[in-house]
Amino acid sequence: MTDEVLVAARGGVLEVTINRPEARNAMTKSAAEAIGAAMDRLDADAELRCAILTGAGGMFCAGMDLKGFLRGEFPVDERGGFGGICTWTPNKPIIAAVDGHALAGGMELALACDLIVANVDAKFGIPEVKRGLVAAGGGAVQLPRLLPRPLAMELALTGDAIGAVRAFELGLVNRVTEGPAIEAARELAEIIAANGPLAVAATKGIVRDSWLWPVEDINTHQNPYIAHIFTSEDAKEGARAFSEKRKPEWKGC
């Protein structure tokens, strides 16, 4: 794996760090592929419950590496698209821990995660139009799904950035912290990791996918996500632990 991405397991949480601080963690093809590989590890390892994606050197990601782009390189993974996760997501949750700038593809990368924790000084934006480009890594598609259309249109057409507090007010960011975002992200990850892993994965899938489901077909679409949950050992363990007033011991089956 390239040293452009650092991967470490910590208490059931896989921490994935974009490690190009000298280039403001701009995304390269090798980094995108490494992030995709880390997410495969997340799904394959039963001991891992969720992931945190962050950047080294007080910066999340400044987007596509433009020097690589001028050489004809696109920072995409064959399956996951930009940054390895913008067109595909693992079954388990990902938390973006954003310090500094999450701009262009960096914002798209954050939006591709399931939750976002940001330092109060962080900035978010898709300035592609300022460079004659389009936010085609998910920004132009995801923002109008997450924001009122006029607000999404303003961010996309002006290319201007907004601060973490404004992003929080708009519902794009889950938590804003005075300290390093990774610390608050670890707290959130610990809460998620303590829950039933099968239930967490199924719930993520439903929340992410259900916006496509017609109301009359919700149960039909939801059933494949939950059919195994209520007969699982974890479901029985959860009920037993509740009645016995103790922490559950999840088996992931």
Of the candidates 78, 108, 183, 237, the residue annotated as catalytic is 108
Instruction: Cite the beta strand spans of the chain per DSSP E.
Output: 5-10, 13-18, 50-55, 76-77, 81-82, 94-98, 101-103, 115-119, 123-125, 162-163, 175-177
CB 109 within 8 A of CB 64: no
**CA angle (250, 252, 253) in 5-degree steps:** 115
CB 102 within 8 A of CB 57: no
Report the Cα–Cα distance between both ends of the chain, in Å, rounded. 30
178 classed as catalytic: no
Work out the burial of residue 105: count CB atoms within 10 Å of its CB; fewer than 13 is exposed, 13-18 middle, 19 or more buried. buried
73 classed as catalytic: no
> Which helix (H) or strand (E) element contains residue 37?
helix 29-44
Of the candidates 4, 15, 33, 128, the residue annotated as catalytic is 128
Instruction: Give the three-class secondary structure for 129.
Output: helix
Sheet holding 123-125, edge to edge: 101-103, 123-125, 162-163
The type of residue at 213 is W
Catalytic residues, by residue number, are 108, 128
